[in-house]
């Protein structure tokens, strides 16, 4: 028998509608409102031991305090599962349900599930952190919503790991994992091709990206002869003992090194730790990846003002987009604070 | 005169491998006379030592430093199974071939000289049991492991050649000791008859060939400078293509997977039923510049048009760089009116939240995923390790337990479909 | 990300299509993957002159006002 704590708002608790949205947090014994439908669906598999109620406005007036109250109540009753809502397309209620479910999972390690309309505002905010099943947009779909919430909830309460979103009947959390499958790659590829050739429907196993928002180009350098130019590379060029421990693939770190050191290229010598290209030519002459000799010559000729005193390096192979964006942003902020006017980036 | 491109493939299924006094097969058990294997390998003085070991599915055994793997095969009658490496130069893909299924000859070794840069043999691990066994196709076959010790005085490139020949030679030697056995299965590989009502499907088979340690060989010659070319499916499965690729453990296609390329075997099994297998276009990936990638991809699309293909399946060998070449080929084929499906690996980060594809074109609307190179796989402590004590990754002790990225699992993310994984959304 | 922060940033790369997908704005096609601003087939003196030319092209790109992503071709 799975013991469940249920979270609902003032409306579903029967306190009242919008005029009662400031109803304070309270704890009730047993099932209330939709909790009874949940118990019907559970049959002998579980029971609601406790219902937590909070008004929609009241919750958002002080979410931290209300979440703390939820956590205290759940920590004391130690249920096997928390169900929040379902909240359908509700804005404030949906956000409260998702926040409560997230907090209980993350802080207490107790599985939690909520039900939301896929376009409800809470989905975007909490999708990656909590288990959500899709529902209709109003309480008219309560029966189906309860069935879906209970089905996923019981599996989680039983200690089962999440399965792929489509198999679980969940709103995807947004991450991907490799799963063992009975259908070989070659058969999947052939079936998909035959479907495509026959004009039949097929489902690509990875969806193509929506095109990224283009980044508006930065304003051009007005006067190169006065400009400070910096060199940046993802070619993994670092001192040979790799003092900053930049990873040779899937890098999460970047570092900067004085160009005076690179110019000498002895004690330390520079070499590439990048695991994605053959670095023999760059190791023999680092200018082939970080063109310091050429840029210095152009500075001496007066084409540019001067060369920024550091070059920046990371290793760009298997590096995730999120780490790349973070590192790029960090490097950009550093360059701006150092008064750099333009940057030349070399990429393998 | 033999029939061109009509290949009779005899299969003997192997259920167990044991060490004994005579090499041969009795009732599905392959006995290996280890001393004879050792002396065969040690004929090459570039190899100074060998240990022969056996790893079976389900055993608490881990194999490390894996290099090439070969399925034991030999030609019946005239001919050599790996022309360019063994025997006379000739084309393969016709006549009769004997294969021993369920067993691989797997070479494991360190190299005599230190490496730097890309072109190095990286760690490649196979677990024979437990959860990590899902991350290599070689967890599901019996591996006759040749643990080799290099002559310390030779260069890496020379040793690389010695290892390759050792694996091929032992594969041929084993199969030659089973030529008197009755095969369990005989299949005719012949695509000369086409059904005009079925679609013509071509396989675009992209291979990695960037230099030593990252090479693929076609009839004994590395394919660095190959323009995409047409090859008969029978040639691929009959020993024309040999691997020398040791860089990305999860992606590489050892010789075993060229011999048993699952896409080719699937298309063979469907020829005349759902489709006509119209041919294979092989190509090197990892071309160096945009212009070279486009040249190669346009060329491949052009060949697919010459063949008259209605559809194509495309597979790369490698990560982001290789994906560009393949995706461009997909784009140009689609623009030529050839429908495509592509097989891709993913790189969604260790937590799986990143966008999974390296490079895409809008035409790639039918993608089969074989999982992510970034996943971290827990490995238990095992009873026995074959091949070495320490992984070539952060000095990790090979006996375990440890966590290891998918990247280092032997053929775990095999893009030709060697493994059993599928990338799913959670 | 550097352009996003308002600093003109020129990407020298052999793989211009990849650079475009990645969202770079000023792209200069250059060299080969393993040596973007190197050409080991030339003599050291020639290679330096060639590299200086590539860097000059990149600087020109940084000084060129653009409305959208642009590849400054090498061939």
What is the pTM (predicted TM-score) of this model? Answer: 0.83
Q: Which of B290, B328, B359 sits opposite C16 (nearest CB)?
A: B290
Beta-sheet pairing, B376-379 with B402-405: antiparallel
CB contact under 8 A, A218 and C3: yes
CB C31 within 8 A of CB A347: no
Residues in chain B: 426
Residue C45 has pLDDT above 60, yes or no: yes
Across A25-39, B39-53, B203-217, C23-37, least confident range: C23-37
Start-to-end CA distance of chain C, whole Å, equals: 27
Q: Give the closest-approach CA distance of A217 to chain C in angstroms.
A: 6
Q: Which pLDDT score, from 0 to 100, does residue B155 have?
A: 96
> pLDDT digit string (tens) for A163-173?
999 999 999 99
Q: Which residues of B touch A172 (CB under 8 A)?
A: 425-426
Q: Are B233 and B203 in contact (CB under 8 A)?
A: yes
Percent of chain A at pLDDT exceeding 70: 99
What is the reported pLDDT for A213?
74
Chain C residues in contact with B290 (beta carbon < 8 A): 14-18, 29
Q: What is the mean pLDDT of residues B297-323?
A: 96
pLDDT class for B386, splitting at 50, 70, 90? very high
Report which of B356, C14, B289 is spatially closest to residue A204, judged by C-alpha positions: B356
At residue C74, the pLDDT reads 57
Q: Are B200 and B191 in contact (CB under 8 A)?
A: no
A302 contact C CB<8A = no
Q: Which chains touch B (3 or more CB pairs under 8 A)?
A: A, C
What are B66-85's pLDDT values in tens digits?
999 999 999 998 889 999 99
Of C36, C58, C59, Cβ closest to residue A348: C36
Least Cα distance to A348 among B410, B287, C33 occurs for C33
pLDDT digits (tens, 9 = 90+) for A270-296: 999 888 788 888 999 999 999 999 999
Residue B1 clears pLDDT 70, i.e. is over it: no
Instruction: Please name the member of A288, A291, A333 whose beta carbon is closest to the beta carbon of C55.
Output: A291
Is there a contact between C14 and B288 if contact means CB atoms under 8 Å apart?
yes
Band of residue C75 on the pLDDT scale cut at 50, 70, 90: very low
For chain B, the average pLDDT equals 95
Mean pLDDT of A294-318: 92
- Name the one residue in this structure whose structure tokens are 């009730």: A28
Q: Which residues of C touch B (CB under 8 A)?
A: 14-18, 21, 29, 31-34, 75
In this prediction, residue C70 carries a pLDDT of 87
What confidence tens digit (pLDDT) does each residue in A146-160 have? 999 999 999 999 999
Q: Please, which residues bridge with residue C69 across strands?
A: none
Report the residue of chain A nearest B265, measured CA to CA: A186
Note which residues in 223-282 of chain A have CB less than 8 A from chain C.
Answer: 224, 227, 229, 232, 235, 277-282
pLDDT at C2: 86
So what's the pLDDT on residue A208? 85
What is the average per-residue pLDDT within B368-378? 94
Best-predicted range by mean pLDDT (B101-110, B286-295, C62-71): B101-110
Identify the bridge partners of residue B364 per DSSP, sorted by sequence position. Answer: none
ipTM passes above 0.85: yes
Mean pLDDT, chain A, rounded, equals 93
Question: What are the pLDDT digits (tens) for A223-279?
Answer: 999 999 999 999 999 998 999 999 888 888 999 999 999 998 888 899 998 887 888
Mean pLDDT of C19-31: 85
Q: What angle is formed at CA A290 by the lines to CA A286 and CA A291, rounded to 5 degrees?
A: 100
Averaged over A132-143, what is the pLDDT?
A: 96
The mean pLDDT value for B131-140 works out to: 96
Whether A303 and chain C come into contact, CB under 8 Å, resolves to: yes
Say which of C15, C32, C34 has its CB closest to residue B324.
C15
Least confident window among A167-176, B114-123, B160-169: B114-123
Q: Which of C11, C31, C49, C62 to mutate to test the interface with A (most CBs of A within 10 A)?
A: C62
C75 contacts in B (CB within 8 Å)?
291
- Per-residue pLDDT, averaged over B101-121, amounts to 92
Chain B residue nearest residue A186, CA to CA: B263
Count Cβ atoms below 10 Å from residue A63 Cβ, excluding itself.
Answer: 15
């Amino acid at each position: 028998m799975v013991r469940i704590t249920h979270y609902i708002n003032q409306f579903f608790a029967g306190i009242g509608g919008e005029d009662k949205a400031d109803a304070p947090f309270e704890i009730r014994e047993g099932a209330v409102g939709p909790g009874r439908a949940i118990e019907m669906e559970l049959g002998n598999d579980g029971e609601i031991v406790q219902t937590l109620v909070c008004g929609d406005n009241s919750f958002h007036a002080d979410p931290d305090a209300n979440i703390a109250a939820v956590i205290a109540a759940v920590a004391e009753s130690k249920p096997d599962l928390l169900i929040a809502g379902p909240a359908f397309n509700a804005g404030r209620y949906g956000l409260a349900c998702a926040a409560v479910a997230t907090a209980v999972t993350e802080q207490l390690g107790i599985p939690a599930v909520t039900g939301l309309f896929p376009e409800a505002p809470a989905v975007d905010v909490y999708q990656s952190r909590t288990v959500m099943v899709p529902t209709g947009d109003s309480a008219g779909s309560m029966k189906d919503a309860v069935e879906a919430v209970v089905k996923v909830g019981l599996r989680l309460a039983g200690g089962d790991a999440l399965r792929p979103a489509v198999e679980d009947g969940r709103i995807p959390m947004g991450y991907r994992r490799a799963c063992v499958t009975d259908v070989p790659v070659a058969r999947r590829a052939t079936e998909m091709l035959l479907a495509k050739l026959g004009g039949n429907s097929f489902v690509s196993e990875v969806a193509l990206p929506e095109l990224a928002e283009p980044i508006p180009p930065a304003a051009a350098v007005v006067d190169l002869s006065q400009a400070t130019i910096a060199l940046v590379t993802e070619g993994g060029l670092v001192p040979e003992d790799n003092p900053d421990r930049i990873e040779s693939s899937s890098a999460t770190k970047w570092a900067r090194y004085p160009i005076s050191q690179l110019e000498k290229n002895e004690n330390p010598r520079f070499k590439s730790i990048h695991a994605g290209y053959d670095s023999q030519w760059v190791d023999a002459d680092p200018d082939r990846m970080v063109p310091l000799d050429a840029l210095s010559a152009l500075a001496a000729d007066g084409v540019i003002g001067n060369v920024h005193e550091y070059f920046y390096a990371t290793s760009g192979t298997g590096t995730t987009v999120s780490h790349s964006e973070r590192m790029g942003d960090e490097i950009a902020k550093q360059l701006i604070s150092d008064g750099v006017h333009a940057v030349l980036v070399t990429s393998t | 005169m033999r029939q061109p491109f009509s290949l009779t493939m005899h299969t003997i299924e192997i259920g167990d491998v044991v060490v004994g006094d005579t090499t041969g097969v009795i009732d599905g058990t392959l006995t290996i006379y280890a001393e004879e294997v050792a002396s065969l390998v040690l004929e090459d003085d570039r190899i100074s030592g060998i240990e022969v070991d056996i790893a079976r599915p389900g055993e608490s055994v881990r194999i490390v430093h894996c290099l090439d793997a070969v399925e034991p095969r030999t030609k019946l009658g005239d001919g050599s199974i790996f022309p360019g490496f063994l025997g006379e130069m000739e084309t393969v893909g016709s006549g009769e071939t004997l294969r021993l299924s369920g067993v691989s000859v797997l070479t494991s070794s360190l190299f005599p000289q230190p490496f730097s840069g890309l072109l190095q043999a990286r760690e490649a691990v196979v677990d024979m049991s437990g959860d990590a066994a899902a991350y290599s196709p070689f967890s599901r076959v019996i591996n006759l492991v040749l643990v080799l010790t290099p002559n310390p005085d030779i260069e890496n490139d020379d040793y690389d050649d010695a290892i390759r020949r050792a694996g091929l030679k032992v594969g041929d030697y084993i199969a030659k000791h089973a030529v008197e056995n009755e095969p369990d299965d005989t299949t005719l590989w012949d695509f000369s008859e086409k059904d005009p009502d079925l679609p013509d499907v071509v396989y675009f088979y992209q291979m990695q060939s960037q230099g030593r340690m990252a090479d693929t060989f076609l009839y004994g010659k590395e394919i660095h400078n190959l323009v995409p070319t047409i090859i008969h499916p029978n040639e691929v499965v009959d020993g024309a293509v040999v691997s020398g690729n040791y860089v990305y453990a999860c992606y590489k296609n050892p010789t075993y997977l060229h011999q048993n390329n699952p896409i080719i075997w699937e298309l063979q099994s469907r020829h005349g039923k759902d489709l006509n297998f119209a041919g294979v276009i092989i190509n090197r990936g990892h071309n160096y510049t945009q212009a070279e990638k486009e040249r190669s991809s346009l060329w491949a699309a052009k060949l697919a048009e010459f063949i008259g293909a209605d559809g194509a399946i495309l597979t790369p060998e490698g990560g982001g760089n290789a994906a560009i070449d393949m995706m461009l080929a997909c784009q140009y084929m689609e623009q030529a009116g050839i429908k495509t499906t592509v097989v891709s690996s993913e790189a969604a980060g260790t937590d799986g939240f990143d966008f999974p594809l390296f490079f895409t074109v809008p035409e790639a609307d039918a993608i089969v995923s074989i999982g992510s190179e970034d996943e971290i796989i827990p490995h238990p402590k095992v009873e026995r390790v074959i091949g070495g004590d320490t992984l070539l990754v952060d000095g990790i002790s090979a006996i375990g337990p440890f966590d290891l990225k998918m990247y280092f699992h032997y053929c775990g993310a095999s893009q030709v479909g060697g493994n059993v994984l599928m990338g799913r959304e959670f | 990300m550097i352009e996003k922060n308002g600093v003109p940033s020129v990407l020298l790369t052999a793989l211009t299509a990849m650079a475009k997908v990645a969202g770079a704005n000023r792209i200069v096609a250059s060299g080969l993957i393993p040596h973007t601003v190197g050409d080991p087939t030339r003599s050291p003196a020639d290679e330096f002159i060639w590299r200086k030319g590539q860097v000059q092209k990149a600087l020109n790109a940084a000084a060129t006002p653009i409305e959208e992503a642009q590849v400054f071709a090498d061939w």
